[in-house]
Amino acid sequence: MERWRLSEETRFPLIDTIDRVIHEPARLIIMSHLFVLEKADYLFLKQQTGLTWGNLSSHITKLENAGFVEIIKKFIDRKPHSLLQLTDKGRKAFEKYQRQMRHMFEGLDEK
């Protein structure tokens, strides 16, 4: 299992190991949805995330360029649909990101 680097003084992951592609709030919520769903189209993600079309498109482009998301063309009821799903790379990156964040906050008291 890939281990992230920790600073010597703290148990926090070094800032340069956090995946900045996932760490952005809009992309995080998109990745979270695609992590729990098998596939979804743009409209479904837009409705669930509350992002505008332009915002959604731009963030998905970044995720696709990073290799985390792939677009699948499928015919549904004889109409073409573009469906989005996480790649294996994207799924692993999201799981790693989850572990990093969980590790960062475990042991902290809730206030």
Instruction: Report CA-CA distances (Å) from 71 to 3, 38, 40, 91.
Output: 30, 12, 10, 15
The residue from 18, 19, 87, 101 that contacts other proteins (CB under 8 A) is 101
Contacts with other proteins by CB under 8 A: the residue count is 35
Q: How far apart are CA 68 and CA 88, in angstroms?
A: 8
Nearer to other proteins, 77 or 109 (CB): 77
Which amino acid type is present at position 36? V
Q: Residue 44 interacts with other proteins (CB under 8 A)?
A: yes
Where does this chain touch other proteins (CB under 8 A) — which range of 4-12, 13-21, 22-30?
22-30
The residue from 18, 83, 87, 99 that contacts other proteins (CB under 8 A) is 83
Please give the helix or strand (H or E) that residue 76 lies within, else none.
strand 69-76
103 contacts 11 by C-beta, under 8 angstroms = yes
Q: Residue 70 interacts with other proteins (CB under 8 A)?
A: no
The residue from 18, 19, 39, 91 that contacts other proteins (CB under 8 A) is 39
Query: On the CB side of 38, how many CA atoms lie within 13 Å of its CA?
Result: 0
Residues that bind other proteins (CB under 8 A): 23, 25, 28, 32-33, 35-48, 53, 56-57, 60-61, 64, 71, 76-77, 81-83, 101-102, 104-105
